[in-house]
């Protein structure tokens, strides 16, 4: 049986890793800066970008789109809190509860960025190549946006295939260069994606179908 304190301990751990990694990159990298931590593994990189929208760079247009997305995240997290407590109380399969907890933690991590980062961090300028300061650091010049308009910090980049090309016979993209995996993401995105993939992979184990009763044949 999964207890609420165990689920929220997992959520706190994911949030802690997510927010610490974002804070470090935001205050130690200039926009667009890239670092290869291990020279023997250039397929793993830290690449600082900011995302105004959803996971993996998807976004809605304009200021109102940004507000709508942040409000939607707030509603989703509020519902997620109720739902997570509900399935724990009903003693759902522990694997299902852990998956929901990972998805919830990721949604909450990106919501924090959207709500507060515009107020607590300086603007990250790609041209001046300056590192942004936070409001508790000396010399803070003010936030770059207002409440609900913060940008999500992304930094995890895995260009496993860097110089690939589509086959010439492929329609539309034939012969074009491609890269896998192109999107830059963060720990919160990974938590959401991992939770969803695990749900899809193990749904039959989480929700086993009840055996159908067979009626006795009638003469």
Backbone dihedral angles phi then psi of residue 103, each to the nearest 5 degrees: -65, -45
Please identify which of the residues 18, 154, 163, 176 carries the catalytic annotation: 154
Is the torsion defined by CA of 133, 139, 141, 146 positive or negative?
positive
Strands 45-51 and 34-35: antiparallel
Going by C-alpha positions, the residue among 149, 126, 143, 118 that lies closest to residue 53 is 149
Q: How far apart are CA 131 and CA 128, in angstroms?
A: 9
66 neighbors 149 (Cβ within 8 angstroms)? yes
Active site residue 189: yes
Q: How far apart are CA 175 and CA 167, in angstroms?
A: 6
Please identify which of the residues 18, 125, 176, 189 carries the catalytic annotation: 189
* Angle at CA of residue 114, ends 109 and 118, nearest 5°: 125
Active site residue 168: no
Going by C-alpha positions, the residue among 191, 192, 163, 186 that lies closest to residue 48 is 186
List residues with catalytic annotation: 154, 189
């Amino acid at each position: 049986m999964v207890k609420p304190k165990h689920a929220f301990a997992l959520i706190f751990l994911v949030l802690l890793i997510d927010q610490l990694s974002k804070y470090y990159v935001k205050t130690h990298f200039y926009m667009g800066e890239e670092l290869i931590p291990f020279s023997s593994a250039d397929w793993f990189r830290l690449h600082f970008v900011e995302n105004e929208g959803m996971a993996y760079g998807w976004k809605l247009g304009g200021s109102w789109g940004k507000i709508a997305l942040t409000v939607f995240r707030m509603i989703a997290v509020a519902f997620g809190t109720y739902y997570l407590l509900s399935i724990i109380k009903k003693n759902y399969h522990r694997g299902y509860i852990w998956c929901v907890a990972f998805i919830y933690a990721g949604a909450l991590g990106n919501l924090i960025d959207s709500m507060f980062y515009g107020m607590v961090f300086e603007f990250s300028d790609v041209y001046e190549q300056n590192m942004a300061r936070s409001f508790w650091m000396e010399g803070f010049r003010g936030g770059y946006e207002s409440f609900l308009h913060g940008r999500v910090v992304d930094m995890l980049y895995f260009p496993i295939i860097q110089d690939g090309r589509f086959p010439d016979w492929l329609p539309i993209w034939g012969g074009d260069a491609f890269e896998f995996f192109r999107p830059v993401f963060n720990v919160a995105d990974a938590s959401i994606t991992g939770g969803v993939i695990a749900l899809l992979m193990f749904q039959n184990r989480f929700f086993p179908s009840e055996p159908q009763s067979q009626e006795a044949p009638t003469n």
